[in-house]
Amino acid sequence: MLHSPRTTRVPTRAAFMMRFELELFPYPAVFGTLLLLVLLLHSWRKEHSWPYLFFLSLFWVYILVVLTMIFFPIRIPQEWPGNITPQNILGIFSHVNFIPFNFGYLFTANASVIFEQLIGNILLTLPVGFCLPFLDRVPGRRIFWLALFFGSVLEGLQLLIKLLGIISGYGHSIDINDVILNSIGILVGYGLYRTFAWFYRALTSRLRLPTSAMFQYLNKVTMQKTKTNKQVLHES
């Protein structure tokens, strides 16, 4: 997903001849903001909870940041759609790494590149695992499949854009290891959420916290896991 030294190429003069180039600002950002306002209005009518709207807004901003890092700018070459040929498609697939844990020459690069490729891909999706339980109940037994699905969607969209002859981002490579690392990031984020929920429940059982809307919402969110565990034990 992030730029890989394995697929670095020196751009040619023709590579800069673009028919169309789309940055995140202003049009996609304005559209995303309007869509967020629609979601906030719908959620307010349904939930009447400003803490929920707060976490939804944070998550939406995070999604926009991720889209910016991965997909923007979106550039359509001058020769498009003539560049969608069987030869180019085969060339794209020839540069896709389908072998798990095959990092090529990554570990011969400097430490900053290694950090970006390994830790960077994990940190990229860590907020998904941590923030999503604040918006909806996420059963622990399903988080693995959710993480795998999210990582696969991110990488699959990048592959689809390449196959359509469109250039997105800055030299992002398609790599099964990115799916694995992104999935690990979500699992780590969910583990941090579970840790936060445990500490929060332990704290509230010993201290009298304010009864504001935010603390009530946190009580509701962190107690969901306890309730779910009891339901699972009862069903078994």
pLDDT over 90 (residue 56): yes
Which of 159, 11, 142 is CA-nearest to residue 71? 159
φ, ψ for residue 135, nearest 5 deg = -110, -30
CA atoms 24, 162, 83, 3: torsion sign: positive
pLDDT over 80 (residue 115): yes
pLDDT over 50 (residue 231): no
pLDDT given at position 69: 87
186-205 average pLDDT score: 92
Banded model confidence at residue 190, pLDDT cuts 50, 70, 90: very high
* pTM beyond cutoff 0.75: yes
The length of the chain, given as a count of residues = 236
Q: Which of 9-18, 57-66, 75-84, 182-191 has the lowest mean pLDDT?
A: 9-18
Provide the percentage of residues in the chain whose pLDDT is more than 70.
87
pLDDT over 90 (residue 153): yes
pLDDT given at position 122: 96
pLDDT given at position 9: 42
pLDDT given at position 194: 94
CA atoms 42, 133, 31, 159: torsion sign: negative
**Which is more confidently placed, 235 or 184?**
184
200-229 average pLDDT score: 77
Question: What ranges make up the beta strands (E) of the chain?
Answer: 18-22, 74-77, 167-168
Contact 71, 169 (CB under 8 A): yes
**Encoded amino acid at 175, one letter:** D
Cα 130 to Cα 118: distance, rounded to the nearest angstrom: 19
Banded model confidence at residue 47, pLDDT cuts 50, 70, 90: confident
Banded model confidence at residue 207, pLDDT cuts 50, 70, 90: confident
- Asked whether the bond before 26 is cis by omega within 30 degrees of 0, the reply is yes
pLDDT over 70 (residue 225): no
**Which domain covers residue 156, as residue numbers?**
5-235
Banded model confidence at residue 16, pLDDT cuts 50, 70, 90: low
- Number of domains composing the chain: 1
